[in-house]
Amino acid sequence: MAELWQLTATELAAEIRGRKVSAREATVATLARLDAVNPVINAVVEHRPEEALARADAIDATLKRGEDAGPLAGVPVTIKVNVDQAGYATTNGLKQQRDLVAKASSPVVDNLVKAGAVLIGRTNTPAFSLRWFTSNQIHGETMNPRDPALTPGGSSGGAAAAVAAGIGPIGHGSDIAGSIRYPAYACGVHGLRPTLGRIPAFNATAPERSIGGQLGAVSGPLARTIADIRLSLTAMAARDPRDPWWVPAPLEGPPVEKRAALTPAPDGLEVAPEVRAAVKDAGKRLADAGWIVEELPATPPLAEAADLQTLLWLADGYDAMVAAAEREGDPAAIHVLRNHHDNARKLDFASFSKLLSRRATLLRDWLLLLERYPVIVMPVSAELPFANHLDTRDDATFARVWRAQMTQIGLPLLGLPALAVATGLVGRTPVGVQVVAGRYREDLCLAAGEAIEAGGTPPSPIDPVTA
């Protein structure tokens, strides 16, 4: 019989709502699992057991009164340290923000609480949430539970490592250039980057984000099953008036033909054989599930979209980011920013206006493709998960890392939803695919993701590997 910490969120919520187990029992089991494995992986960097247990007791009391405790009734969930959670510092991996304690929670955190979640702890991120590797000078380094030689991904590396190791079945993450999808890929779990405006966002502890951040950054869930991704998306997506970008789009769109396009090497990307094989395998799984699957000879520009997204993400406010990184003294963050110095200097008002105009053209091209193929399957990354800290080896390796992530970086410019689906292991290295659909059609990502998932996923949760 499975331990409570091994259950999916969907299973656990049903058991708690049915009064077969209590929310306290589920929380105690998850806290014990945290104590057992977190010292090895350092995924959760702050947690207060007494608060989690008090929250669990409140949910049990709600159920005892015969009242609805929400779709996530009693489910342990982790929160990334770059969003506001009342009473906790929004460090974003920075020493200089160790005392930036939130007085109110962000909308996504409030929505999870309203849905019945038990917030079990805060998960690690790189300094400034800037890398696909998770380490910083305030919380230390997070290790990949499947192989400590591999990155756990970033910037939601703590969330992905926690989910893979059984510290809660759902982790909150955020994504501006792959920060949900890549950690899911690297740790062998699933992760959804939703459409811009699907999940409300706001951090009262921070200044209003630049337009690049507003257009590109979203929150989303990481989980071990697609069913749990769907459940957590429903909880996270509730309206909040603090986010002017939030859109009241239905979570289920109109029926479409089950037609998918495979792009094993989109826009000329050089892709590792194992990654290409995973995309083709995902296509076979979809075909076995009754989907019409075709391989595309070419796609609309994605490398260009990635270049433009990099400018929006890093050049808009570049000097302030550099100054903050130098104050922090984080060598990896400084290395990333210095490698983008020349590109950042290209962004003036005229080029900024041209960039946003070009964004509309690129998005139109992709939306027209998605009219013909409601789902597109492509790599998450051109390579298998990187060796840890590969990006800091030298400038040539940094460029290689950045180039391999083109499929992650380009999609946020377009505001499209994308789901990372874990499909298997190469030795003990995870591999998977990325499923893309039209705006506000996360339901199509999830439908295709479930068909792909049915063909097999890496075992999860796992005990962390230490060598």
Give residue-wise pLDDT tens across range 194-236: 999 999 999 999 999 999 999 999 999 999 999 999 999 999 9
Is 155 assigned a catalytic role? yes
- How confident is the model at residue 1, as a pLDDT? 72
Give residue-wise pLDDT tens across range 182-202: 999 999 999 999 999 999 999
How many percent of the chain have pLDDT more than 90?
95
In whole angstroms, what is the distance from residue 466 CA to residue 443 CA? 37
The arithmetic mean of pLDDT across residues 117-126, rounded, is: 98
Helix, strand and coil in the chain, % to nearest 5:
45, 15, 40
Strands 218-223 and 190-193: antiparallel
In whole angstroms, what is the distance from residue 167 CA to residue 314 CA? 32
Give residue-wise pLDDT tens across range 395-431: 999 999 999 999 999 999 999 999 999 999 999 999 9
Q: Which residues of 222-239 are buried (b: 16+ CB within 10 A; e: fewer)?
A: bbbbbbbbbbbbebbbbe
Tally of CA atoms within 13 A in the half-sphere of 66 that contains its CB: 0
The single residue of 155, 174, 219, 232 carrying the catalytic annotation is 155
Tally of CA atoms within 13 A in the half-sphere of 342 that contains its CB: 1
- How confident is the model at residue 346, as a pLDDT? 81
- How confident is the model at residue 279, as a pLDDT? 98
When the pLDDT of each residue in the chain is averaged and rounded to a whole number, the result is: 97
- How confident is the model at residue 347, as a pLDDT? 84
Give residue-wise pLDDT tens across range 374-383: 999 999 999 9
The arithmetic mean of pLDDT across residues 262-291, rounded, is: 97
Is 103 assigned a catalytic role? no
Q: What is the pTM of this model?
A: 0.98
Range in 93-102, 145-154, 340-349, 449-458 the model is least confident about: 340-349
- How confident is the model at residue 257, as a pLDDT? 97
Residues recorded for the chain: 467
How many percent of the chain have pLDDT more than 70?
100
The single residue of 80, 156, 174, 232 carrying the catalytic annotation is 80
**Residue 343: which pLDDT band, with cuts at 50, 70 and 90?**
confident
Strands 135-136 and 259-262: unpaired
- How confident is the model at residue 348, as a pLDDT? 87
SS3 of residue 450 by DSSP: helix
348 compared with 161, residue with greater pLDDT: 161
Cβ proximity of 250 and 282 under 8 Å: no
Domains of the chain: 4-453 (3.90.1300.10)
In whole angstroms, what is the distance from residue 181 CA to residue 177 CA? 9
- How confident is the model at residue 467, as a pLDDT? 86
- How confident is the model at residue 324, as a pLDDT? 94
Give residue-wise pLDDT tens across range 278-335: 999 999 999 999 999 999 988 999 999 999 999 999 888 899 899 999 999 999 999 9
- How confident is the model at residue 4, as a pLDDT? 98
The single residue of 22, 156, 179, 219 carrying the catalytic annotation is 179
Please report the DSSP string for 23-90 in residue order. HHHHHHHHHHHHHHHHHHH--EEE--HHHHHHHHHHHHHHHHTT----TTTT-EEEEETTS--TTSB-
Is 219 assigned a catalytic role? no
**Residue 453: which pLDDT band, with cuts at 50, 70 and 90?**
very high
Find tokens 């992530």 and name the residue.
405
Cα dihedral across residues 151, 156, 160, 162: positive or negative: positive
The arithmetic mean of pLDDT across residues 63-74, rounded, is: 98
